[in-house]
Amino acid sequence: MSSLPKHRYSAEEYLALDREADYKSEYVTGEIFAMGGASPKHVLIAGNTAREFGNRLRDTNCQVYSADLRIQAESDNVYYYPDVVVVCGRPEYRDSRRDTVSNPLVIVEVLSPATRNYDRGDKFAHYRRLDSLRDYILIDQEACHVEHFVRREGIWEFSEIDDCQGSLVIPTLDIAIALKEIYAKLEFLDD
Task: Report the alpha-carbon distance of residue 180 to residue 32 in Å, rounded.
Answer: 36
How much is the pLDDT for 5?
Answer: 67
Q: What are phi and psi of 90, to 5 degrees?
A: -80, 125
Q: Identify the architecture of domain 37-190 in CATH.
A: Alpha-Beta Complex (3.90)
Tens digits of per-residue pLDDT, 134-162?
999 999 999 999 999 999 999 999 999 99
Mean pLDDT over 117-138 rounds to: 96
If we measure between CA atoms, which residue out of 105, 62, 78, 68 comes closest to residue 14? 78
Average pLDDT, the chain: 93
How much is the pLDDT for 36?
Answer: 83
Mean pLDDT over 77-81 rounds to: 95
If we measure between CA atoms, which residue out of 70, 80, 128, 132 comes closest to residue 101? 70
Domain limits of the chain?
Answer: 37-190
How much is the pLDDT for 4?
Answer: 59
How much is the pLDDT for 189?
Answer: 63
